[in-house]
Amino acid sequence: EHIAQSFPENFLWGGAIAANQAEGAWNEDGKGPAISDAFRGGIVGGTFDDTIDENKYYASHEAIDFYHRYKEDIALFAEMGMKCFRTSIAWSRIFPNGDDAEPNEKGLQFYDDLFDELLKHGIEPVITISHFELPLNLIRKYEGWKSRKLIGFYTKYAEVVFKRYKNKVKYWMNFNEINHFHTIPLAAGGIVVQDDEHKLPTIYQASHHVFVASALATKLCHEMIPGAMMGAMLSLSPIYPNTCNPDDVFDAYELRRRSLFYSDVLLRGYYPSYAKRIWKEHSIKVQMEPGDEQLLREHTADYLGFSYYRSTTHKAGMPILGNTGGIMGLDNPYLDKTPWGWPIDPKGFRYVCNEMYDRYQKPLFVVENGYGSHDEILEDGSIHDPERVDYLNKHLIQLHEAIEDGCEVLGYTWWGPIDIVSAGTGEMKKRYGFIYVDKNNDGSGTLERRKKNSFYWYQKIIESNGKVL
């Protein structure tokens, strides 16, 4: 049985969102269109429009209007007691086309104001530089990360934001869920894949560009902001073999390694030995320039940020894509599921923390964990969300166990502390929040904010530093 204990002193309790899922104001104050602005129905199952048609509904265009309402929202986060808040900078607010000569001052000013507001409440900003929101022009003109030119555009963007926010932001991350390059290449990397034959070579080449860009940004971050930390960010689900048949076990292991390919490179600083075989079997020749490998070695990430929602179960012969496997996993009869079919596996959370800490011995930062579900406002105006509270409690108990196991964990940011647009499906009704937002899937709603029961519970957790669990 779990014995309630407190979390480490200065543990960073918080919440996390991404610019494109919350801000809205998609074309205000000089912002250019981002890839996320051209998706209808989410980036996993939705449609990507080559041309944005203003007569159609795009969830990111208004989202929850965080761009104009962030002060009200941050006051609520502060009331919950949050110590940190993760969001992303929308690249297309800073460089509307991605390849502009000069940054957009109004975009820079917005994040200055946002970070000031957080700091005013004693909330530490935790910032993702690129969260599935590449400027659209970089895809149209350069085919996204397929092009080596993006390294230059990205490092220029990173340099601008480091310079501007160096006194405000200490925790940084380069690319959100970078291992999704394999699952959703277009949404995650703006990688246009023509056909299956070109898919893997294209993705590995684009990944190399992202590795070099990450190393260069890490270098700049360390040079420009003393004491800052740069993280890598992965989507992580433990992968269980479906049976003890050695074929299932080895296949699951193989899939696991491929999902850790990105953290292996970013945290260790070199390509793992197993990559050579994959490249050989698929006739992949990654083009590198002299000095690239040295950069990777010299500028590794300081911590591993990751999202954890669920586990996955794998059987020999199922496709190995190099992602978390979660998307095409088998049913696990031991686990319940969320209304969106995601297996609920608190112990898997402890498993993943230990697995990552054993592998890298670098601090972990849980920058996403959450429960997406329907919510209903009762007649008296209250919103009861016991399943969310249950998910939160069970996961935090396992996180605490992982810390007791010896894992160094910097903090925990709940995904979507306020309801936002779902990345996967583009829906509003897949709600993660402790704060309800009156907005529906068709875009209607007053955008009014309202506390759910879980709001008060998370407040208690933070206040007691986890002792109430």
| Set 105, 177, 289, 408: catalytic member | 177
Check binding of 177 to ligand BG6 (CB under 6 A): yes
Query: Binding ligand BG6 by CB under 6 A: which of 12, 18, 38, 63?
Result: 18
Task: Retrieve residue 220's tokens.
Answer: 């700049």
Number of residues lying near ligand BG6 (CB under 6 A): 14
Segments of 159-279 assigned E as strands: 171-175, 229-235, 239-241
Element (H, E) at 126: strand 124-130
**Cβ 292 to ligand BG6, closest distance in Å?**
27
User: Is 123 within 8 Å of 165 (Cβ atoms)?
Assistant: no
DSSP-assigned states of every residue in 335-390: --B-TT-PBP-HHHHHHHHHHHHHHH-S-EEEEE----B-----TTS----HHHHH
Please choose, out of 146-154, 289-297, 352-360, 417-425, the segment that lies near ligand BG6 by the rule CB under 6 A: 417-425
- Residue list 294-313, contact with ligand BG6 (CB under 6 A): 307
Angle 404-405-406 from CA coordinates, rounded to 5°: 85
CB atoms under 10 Å from CB of 322, counted, come to: 24
Collapse the DSSP code of 304 into the 3-class scheme (helix H, G, I; strand E, B; otherwise coil) and give the result. Answer: strand
Check binding of 415 to ligand BG6 (CB under 6 A): yes
* Nearest-10 Cα torsion for 208, 211, 215, 217: 110
Nearer to ligand BG6, 299 or 431 (CB): 431
Check binding of 418 to ligand BG6 (CB under 6 A): no
Please choose, out of 284-292, 375-383, 416-424, 436-444, the segment that lies near ligand BG6 by the rule CB under 6 A: 416-424
Angle between helix 196-224 and helix 149-165 axes, rounded to 10 deg: 30
**Cβ 21 to ligand BG6, closest distance in Å?**
6
**Cβ 105 to ligand BG6, closest distance in Å?**
28
**Cβ 432 to ligand BG6, closest distance in Å?**
7
Please tell me the distance from the alpha carbon of residue 32 to that of residue 98, in angstroms, as a whole number. Answer: 9
Please tell me the distance from the alpha carbon of residue 324 to that of residue 312, in angstroms, as a whole number. Answer: 8
Query: Binding ligand BG6 by CB under 6 A: which of 305, 329, 372, 466?
Result: 372
Check binding of 147 to ligand BG6 (CB under 6 A): no
Please name the amino acid found at residue 411: G
Distance of CA 27 to the CA centre of its chain: 23
Nearer to ligand BG6, 185 or 424 (CB): 424
Check binding of 59 to ligand BG6 (CB under 6 A): no
Query: Binding ligand BG6 by CB under 6 A: which of 430, 439, 449, 452?
Result: 430
Segments of 242-342 assigned E as strands: 303-307, 312-314
- Residue list 303-362, contact with ligand BG6 (CB under 6 A): 307
Whether 379 is catalytic is no
**Cβ 455 to ligand BG6, closest distance in Å?**
20
**Cβ 423 to ligand BG6, closest distance in Å?**
3
User: Is 181 within 8 Å of 200 (Cβ atoms)?
Assistant: no
Per-residue contact flags (x/-) with ligand BG6 for residues 195 to 234, judged by CB under 6 A: ----------------------------------------
Residue 27 carries which DSSP code? T
User: Is 469 within 8 Å of 397 (Cβ atoms)?
Assistant: yes
| Set 62, 124, 133, 368: catalytic member | 368
Please choose, out of 51-59, 108-116, 406-414, 418-426, the segment that lies near ligand BG6 by the rule CB under 6 A: 418-426
Query: Binding ligand BG6 by CB under 6 A: which of 87, 259, 332, 422?
Result: 422
Check binding of 262 to ligand BG6 (CB under 6 A): no
Collapse the DSSP code of 97 into the 3-class scheme (helix H, G, I; strand E, B; otherwise coil) and give the result. Answer: coil
Check binding of 176 to ligand BG6 (CB under 6 A): yes
Whether 376 is catalytic is no
DSSP-assigned states of every residue in 406-465: T--EEEEEEE-SB----TTT--SSSB--SEEE---TTS-S---EEE-HHHHHHHHHHHTT
Nearer to ligand BG6, 313 or 338 (CB): 338
**Cβ 383 to ligand BG6, closest distance in Å?**
19
**Cβ 230 to ligand BG6, closest distance in Å?**
18
Nearer to ligand BG6, 77 or 306 (CB): 306
Closest CA to 125 of 9, 10, 14: 14
Query: Binding ligand BG6 by CB under 6 A: which of 183, 207, 235, 413?
Result: 235
Active site residues: 177, 368
Binding site residues, ligand BG6, CB under 6 A? 18, 21, 176-177, 235, 307, 368, 372, 415, 422-425, 430
